[in-house]
Amino acid sequence: MADNVTPRVRVPRDATAGEEITIKTLISHPMESGQRKDGDGNVIPRSIINRFTCTFNGETVIDVTLEPAISTNPYFEFQAIVPASGTFEFTWYDDDGDVYTDSKDITVG
């Protein structure tokens, strides 16, 4: 239903051990709230991303429950600790069952 859903994530390429880094994520998605009506007065059915998670080497950084009040193209910014080199995994769960994922590697030098 939601077309052209593209996740975009910004994570630094490298960090020092134990550093706190800021992660920014954006995913293009209409986030149809279920409140709007089309030209004929029919309610446009709800179609949103209802959950977003970020993990680092399998451990949770943040787990967000989204409601229809989140804007189109949901944007999140948060901080994570990087104790060692590893991979950040990002997952978005759509109302229609689709799951969108992205991952970023980070190197501790």
In which residue are the tokens 């859903």 written? 5
- Candidates 16, 42, 71, 109: give the one binding another protein (CB under 8 A): 71
CA separation for the pair 44, 61 (Å, rounded):
34
37 is a site residue for another protein (CB under 8 A): yes
49 is a site residue for another protein (CB under 8 A): no
16 is a site residue for another protein (CB under 8 A): no
Which residues contact another protein (rule: CB under 8 A)? 20-21, 33, 35-37, 55-56, 59-72, 74-81
